[in-house]
Amino acid sequence: MTVDSTAPSQPAIENLLAERRTFPPDPAFTAQANAKASLYEEADRDFEAFWARIARERVDWTKPFEQTLDWQLPFAKWFIGGTLNISENCVDRHVKQGLGHKVAYHWIGEPGDTRTITYADLLREVQKAANALKELGVKTGDRVAIYMPMIPELPVAMLACARLGAAHTVVFGGFSAEALAGRINDAEAKVLITADGGWRRGKATPLKPAADEAIANAPTIEHVLVVQRLGDAAETSMTEGRDVWWHDIVGRQPETCSPVPVDSEHLLYLLYTSGTTAKPKGIVHTTAGYLVGTSFTHEMIFDVKPDDVYWCAADIGWVTGHSYIVYGPLANATTGVLYEGTPDTPAWDRWWQIVEQYKVSILYCAPTAIRAFMKQGEEHPAKHDLSSLRVLGSVGEPINPEAWLWYQQNIGGGKTPVVDTWWQTETGMILITPLPGVTTTKPGSATFPFPGIEADVVDNEGRSVPLGGGGYLVLKRPWPAMLRGIYGDPERYQETYWSRFPGMYFAGDGAKRDEEGYFWLLGRVDDVMNVAGHRISTIEVESALVDHKKVAESAVVGKNDPLTGQAIFAFVILKAGVEPSDGLGIELREHVAKVISPIARPKFLMFTPDLPKTRSGKIMRRLLRDIAEGRTLGDTTTLADAGVVDAIRERSGAAEE
Ligand code: WT7
């Protein structure tokens, strides 16, 4: 692994670190805050006892756990001996406590249609959907793939699986048929839940054709459950005996379905994420620890109270949506907003209109969105009353101090705490974050590890770097929502996360701590790019390019981008006899979009006669990044043929779209 390959450029980091303003908590906020400074002390005294207390308080157990943690490095088991059902914890118990009338989701469709789903509605729909899955042959221990737009049936489907003890694997609706097939096959999913399509930027966007294409190469799928979202706006073909409409089969089910109690460590879901190879990893999350970690962090970090209206603007297809739209918030009986559309449709004030209309009090989104809003100008949020907002969150990529300040001032009215939350698909829950009402924040810093979490910054040899220095972010203690492995590949789990620094979890991120111990996340240090908060592997894009019949070789790097954090820059060597052309450039970029997803489509593509390689034949990505960003080149002494760099640079003027 090349450790420096996609680290952000020096000017960006300097800019980040030069920011020195601090924001102490407002005493009025502190007085009412859920989080208390004493949590850190409690967790430091005995972190197992700390998590055990939280697990006892927050979870309705069908059988209490006997042991808090079994840590056979790197394999963790939490809350051993306990049994529970997570759908019961997210829905039934709230209804039993008289909260059936409380809104679980205010759903807003892109064309403006809306639905209000109370906890009583959710309980009924989850039970009916679970009965339908049973009728389709789903049993405890099976896997179910879900490929859906942002509609209420998506969380219902996830909870219905969990009610039966079947694991879900949600595949983001923007992924290609090929990506979907790969995930279904790895998970050996029995049923696929999808929709005829969804609305995207004013257009009906079919999903079922991609689902059909995927299933043609995914033999484990026995049935397809299809939600009708587009209706007449799409032509949907159904395969007799295999495909069933959701409204037909779910519609006629009995309204009760007993939750299946499962072991604490029972597989809850798989979520595929890009690593440093072409094959995405199925990240394994289990039941009890995940419920404890997501619900507790949600309540503390967002200061969620019974009357709040909470909006996490991510897609449920990513871990942010799993943990902080579905499981964490529902476990806390939160009222949430679920929005199908994009920030720019029908206009750039759509989000602010939603905040005003629904009196959203907590907003959680990605720096990419904030930077896009900044670019559009203050006048869009200024048109709306945003005074209901009291906590703002950021996630997915480093937030530059300018964006942090713009967010706090223009969206938060200069008064709300901003929580910059660092975590990953693998961590399951937020791990580095301020606690609102407790932490003095610095724009651009995710501040400190959450209570009970031990994070460190280490050098190449795994030695802790003194305050003021930078290195690799590691975690030194297990935490309840941590991944339990990579599906079907324990060796890769060990190798990817636990072998770089023995005994420590290697996050793949660079970090620096300032003199006061604040953590500043500096971006990925491996072959993973972060494009608009989406994690994409350079190698995945390279193999999609090489998969095209005219391409001989390719190298992909992340180029700094003012809007999306990084943008994909592809260097391509064509096969002998193939002539480069603008048309071919477009064709290749489309090819990547088709093979992986439009989010992986290279923004820049350059044809090159050769690639810079070390004498051992490794592509020098650092050098390519320098070329992509137009910087003067660093040390090239390990380069096999220095002439290659000149050849590439001469052509780089023609690279941009
Ligand atoms: C990678 C994980 C966590 C949900 C969304 C992304 C980057 C995430 C931050 C942050 C700086 C961040 C890291 C991390 N990242 N949050 N607050 N500051 N970087 O999940 O797709 O698994 O990506 O996102 O590089 O490793 P993911």
pLDDT of residue 47: 97
Helix (H) or strand (E) holding 419: strand 418-421
Question: Does residue 208 carry a pLDDT above 80?
Answer: yes
pLDDT in tens, 514-552: 999 999 999 999 889 999 989 999 999 999 999 999 999
What whole-number percentage of the chain has pLDDT above 90?
Answer: 87
- 178: helix, coil or strand? helix
Q: Which among 447, 417, 431 has a CA at the least distance from the CA of 517? A: 447
425 CA closest ligand 1 atom index: 22
- Quick check: CB of 529 below 6 Å from ligand 1? no
Looking at every residue in the chain, the average pLDDT score rounds to 93
Q: What is the pLDDT of residues 486-497, one digit of tens each?
A: 999 999 999 999
Closest residue CA from atom 20 of ligand 1: 424
pLDDT range class, residue 617, cuts 50, 70, 90 = confident
**Three-state SS letters, 17-31:** HHCCCCECCCHHHHH
Q: Considering the chain, what percentage of its residues have pLDDT values greater than 70?
A: 94
Whether residue 143 is predicted with pLDDT greater than 70 in this model: the reply is yes
- What is the 533 CA–ligand 1 centroid distance (Å)? 7
* Ligand 1 centroid – CA 150 distance (Å): 21
| Residue 14: pLDDT band with limits 50, 70, 90 | low
Interval between CA 234 and ligand 1 midpoint (Å): 35
- The ligand 1 atom at the shortest distance from the C-alpha of residue 394 is 17
DSSP sequence for 114-170: EEEEEHHHHHHHHHHHHHHHHHTT--TT-EEEEE--SSTHHHHHHHHHHHHTPEEEE
At residue 9 the predicted structure's pLDDT band, cuts being 50, 70 and 90, is very low
Residue 433: CA count within 13 A, CB half-sphere: 31
Average pLDDT for 84-88: 98
- pLDDT, greater one: 293 or 635: 293
Q: List the end-to-end C-alpha distance of the chain, in Å, as a whole number.
A: 30
Find the 422 Cα to ligand 1 centroid distance in Å. 6
Tell me phi and psi for residue 622, to 5 degrees.
-60, -40
The residue with greater pLDDT, 28 or 6, is 28
Q: What is the model's pLDDT at position 655?
A: 44
User: What single letter denotes the amino acid at residue 260?
Assistant: V
Flag the least confident range among 22-31, 269-278, 339-348, 454-463: 269-278
Q: What is the pLDDT of residue 589?
A: 96
Ligand 1 neighbour 556 (Cβ under 6 A): no
pLDDT reported for residue 620: 84
349 lines ligand 1 (CB under 6 A): no
DSSP 302-315: TT--TT-EEEE-S-
Look at the alpha carbons of 121, 123, 124, 125 in this order and tell me if their dihedral is positive or negative. positive
| Cβ–ligand 1 contact at 545 (below 6 Å) | no
Determine whether the shortest distance from the Cβ of 536 to ligand 1 is under 6 A: no
Identify the residue whose tokens are 């983001």.
172
Among 129, 94, 102, residue whose Cα is nearest residue 118: 102
Distance 395 CA to ligand 1 centre (A): 7
Q: How far is 96 from 92, CA to CA, in rounded Å?
A: 6
Measure 472 CA to ligand 1 centroid, in angstroms: 14
Atom 11 in ligand 1: which residue has the minimum CA distance?
398
Strands 391-395 and 418-421: parallel
